Chains A and B, each alone.
Chain A
Amino acid sequence: MVSFQEVIALLITAFAAVYSVRFMYKNLTRGEVPARCAKCALMQKNK
């Protein structure tokens, strides 16, 4: 029997997993690199 606590934890995990996959997908397919500094963000925005 899955507890309420477990349901919440699994939902958070699922959300984090979707976020991670989306992040990597964007990175590798669309070339959107994560901006580690303002300069990179700006360069991408202005491309």
Chain B
Amino acid sequence: MKTDLHTVSNTDNPSWAAIVGNPNCGKTALFNRLTGLHHKVGNYPGITVEKKSGRIRNSRIVLRDLPGTYSLSSKSVDEKIVSDMVQSWREPKNRPRAVIVVVDATNLIRNTYLALQILDWNIPTIIVLNMIDEARKKHISIDADELKKRTKAWAVIPASAKYGEGIKEIIETLEQIPDNVRLPKMEPRLVEIEHCTENIAPLEQFLEPKKDVLNHHPRIEALRLLSDDGYINYLTKYFTAAELEQLLSKVTEVKTALKKNHIPYRSLEQSSRFAYIDLYLGDVFKKDPISRRSMSEKADAILTHPVFGPIALLLVLGFIFNAIFSWAQFPMDLIQSGIDWTSAQAGAILPDGILKSLLTEGIIGGAGTILIFFPQIIILIFFLSLLEDSGYMARMAFMMDKLMSKIGLNGRSVLPLLSGFACAIPAVMSARTIENRRDRFVTIMLIPLMSCSARLPVYTILIAAFVPAGYIFGFMPMQAAVLMGIYFLGMFTAIFAALIFKKFYPSKSVQTMLMELPPYRMPLARSLWWQIYDKGKSFLTTAGSIILAISIVLWFLASYPRQAGDQQHTSRERIEYSYAGQLGHFIEPVVQPLGFDWKIGVGLITSFAAREVMVSTLSTLYNLENDSGQSQSLIQAMRKDRYPDGRKVFTPLSVLSLMVFFVFAAQCMATFAVIKKETNSWRWPLLMTGYMTILAYVSCLLVYQGGQLLGFI
């Protein structure tokens, strides 16, 4: 290979390499293996929607992981990231040292399409045949040496990012590529299609004088100009205005000629490349003809069945929601005891006074309460990661695809919506995989209706306090059923909201989802661990710090101002006189029709910073109000709390109303900010806040007032 080389000017900066590949081919897993980082991986497409960088272990080479794409045409936002970067390689200074094309060894033909497009940039390209372990299991054999010879790739390395196979060879190969290397220009890896060459010749000839500046073969440029109307934007800076005009007229002329010959010019590159793969590479990989139906196919016969599939889905969800209560009970009790003990110790050590109140009632009693929910959040994240990594999440998307098109959405909307169960922020960002702008924005508007993990503490404390721990139909735990119902309420409302969007903001095009169902895979313990670790860490640090800060501020607002003869008043009178009490009573007329008292009203305001703050707010207020001298849990305090007239504050109806409020209300500053960023406009986050606030208020009003009219309490 070295004989084919020549060096270019030292303006090249070859200390970085790019990783590209089809969606869900294991790019990020390979990136993590090579860099030692632990970025999120998943067994469904669309995990990487941004560029990510990391240095290879013990090396000076920096790797850039790009979003998955099937080709270099830029349709969706994430594909455009890849396309923009590749287009920048026209400038020598922007060219990477090497490109690693990750190829799914179990699906070589489709994956090789992108590899050929990359190879045509004449940059050292390493083709990594990832998931080679799965290919072997499926009796697929690939002749790596032959593939290297025929494609003229720098290297072809069989690898398994999952088990670490081939990683050393990839690093060694990358290290061995000399600095500032560039391969000689080669003929594009295309097959000539009948009548095509003569028809596109005028365009190719027009581009020929510019081939050194464009750094890309004129035939490929011509095919790309024919298939993608926006492609010309990448070329404008290399042409004068007059030349551009000529170029456009040549494009039109060629399109007309091709139309005349009934040649579909938009798919010319595809036809030509796949013909090349078929003709030159078809025999490089062989599949054992007697290979049996895989385990995945057998499982899918049941799990994606029109009748059994949804039943299986309900059972899976029921199991998860039950686990959130039953598995978490023991660690939650343990943390509760730890917090009670810490509070008692702090109370015993510190002398009576304001500092003791701040520590025991504000910090430990307020922010500490949130810690109790840590096990439940971890269990939810564990199961969501398990669903993603095993490949079941992709099946959920597949089952909902039809429904999505009926409600005017895109099949690609399903995964962002489902990932909204963990957190709306990455979900909103992952909507970038949706090509159609209208569908992307509508999906973003619906994501906050999916109950995120930050709402879990609010739901579970209300359910644990007010829903009995019995069984429905003798087998379904009631608390888990209520939690599942709350999640379904969000989902069904999203469907309803999508229909309204469809009516007032209809989609102009129907986009089908081209998603390949990944095989079921045993999730890697390491990957699960890092996802749980990352989530747990950010819950304790980022979310934890704002919860702590707001708990302290709230303690102050609930403790000041002090009245003359402060000690002669009861705790209840003191707190009602405080700033928080005054604020709560000020907004009480607005929230009272929903069944909420002033303390809940204060919680609704503070929870805008982070939804979990609702729980710490109630905890702080109840701690400050408690003058019995005995510690009491938040659940006990909520059960005992009464209005001055003796009515209970928390009744089944008001609890239901509060849960409904949390399902619908857009109380998340972070989501607001990320929507503003992703849509680049104030209109969409304001629309989201507006429609969700109205929806929350009206729904709670109907639940509470309607329930009372029907005789419920």
Contacts and interface: CB of A to CB of B under 8 A. Distances in A.
A9 B670 contact: no
Interface string A27-47: 110011111111111110011
A10 B286 CA distance: 74
A3 B556 CA distance: 16
A12 to B, nearest CB: 6
A28 B538 contact: no
B609 A36 contact: no
A39 B549 contact: no
Contacts of A39: 39-40, 426, 534
At the interface, is chain A mostly helix, strand, loop or mixed?
helix
A33 B673 contact: yes
B89 interface: no
Contacts of B535: 36-38
A10 B560 CA distance: 11
Contacts of A10: 556
A34 B471 CA distance: 39
B673 A37 contact: no
Contacts of A32: 673
At the interface, is chain B mostly helix, strand, loop or mixed?
helix
Contact of A28 (B38, B49, B552, B672): B672
Contact residues on B (Cβ < 8 Å of other chain), bracket: 35 or more
B355 interface: yes
A36 B669 contact: no
B612 to A, nearest CB: 11
B670 A23 contact: no
B676 A31 contact: yes
Interface in B668-693: 669-674, 676-677
B545 interface: yes
Contacts of B49: 43
Contact of A43 (B50, B531, B548, B673): B50
A42 B549 contact: no
A37 B609 CA distance: 16
Contacts of B549: 16-17, 19-20, 23
B429 A40 contact: yes
Contacts of A3: 353-354
Contacts of A19: 545-546, 549
A8 B423 contact: no
A35 B676 CA distance: 16
Contact of A36 (B545, B556, B670, B677): B670
Nearest to B350: A5
B713 interface: no
A38 B533 CA distance: 9
Contacts of B677: 31, 33
Contacts of B530: 38
Given A5-B354, A27-B669, A40-B426, A16 B553 contact: yes
B51 interface: yes
Contacts of A40: 423, 425-426, 429
B52 A42 contact: yes
Contacts of B38: 38
17 contacts: A6-B354, A9-B355, A16-B548, A27-B669, A33-B671, A34-B543, A34-B610, A36-B535, A36-B543, A36-B670, A37-B538, A38-B39, A42-B50, A43-B426, A43-B429, A46-B52, A47-B50
Interface of A: 3, 5-6, 8-10, 12-13, 16-17, 19-20, 23-24, 27-28, 31-43, 46-47
Q: Closest 6 interchain pairs by CB? A: A38-B534, A16-B552, A16-B549, A13-B556, A5-B355, A31-B677
Given A34-B542, A36-B542, 14 more contacts: A5-B354, A6-B353, A13-B555, A16-B550, A19-B545, A24-B669, A27-B669, A34-B543, A34-B610, A34-B670, A35-B425, A36-B543, A39-B39, A46-B52
